[in-house]
């Protein structure tokens, strides 16, 4: 079975949330830059919160 899911690579350990959101968005036809997701999600040296991911999704995909 062939998969048409795009592959994404984390920039660093704090990028797992932003990278996951980019992967899910790509599956649904949205191309999002990790840098924009990180900005909208308020990703910092600790990573991204679930609230940050929700806010990024609302701001970038809607």
Question: Is the pLDDT confidence value at 58 over 80?
Answer: yes
Q: pLDDT tens digit string along 6-30?
A: 788 998 999 999 999 999 999 999 9
Question: Is the pLDDT confidence value at 5 over 80?
Answer: no
pLDDT at 2: 52
pLDDT at 48: 95
Domain ranges of the chain: 14-60
CA distances from 12 to 4, 16, 34, 54 (A): 25, 8, 11, 21
Query: Rounded distance, CA 13 to CA 31, Å?
Result: 22
Query: Rounded distance, CA 62 to CA 56, Å?
Result: 10
Collapsed DSSP state (helix, strand, coil) of residue 16: helix
pLDDT at 6: 77
């Amino acid at each position: 079975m062939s998969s048409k899911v795009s592959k994404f690579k984390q920039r660093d350990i704090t990028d797992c949330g932003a990278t996951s959101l980019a992967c899910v968005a790509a599956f649904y036809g949205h191309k999002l830059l990790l840098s924009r997701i990180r900005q909208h999600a308020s990703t910092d040296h600790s990573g991204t919160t679930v609230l940050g991911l929700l806010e990024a999704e609302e701001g970038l995909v809607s």
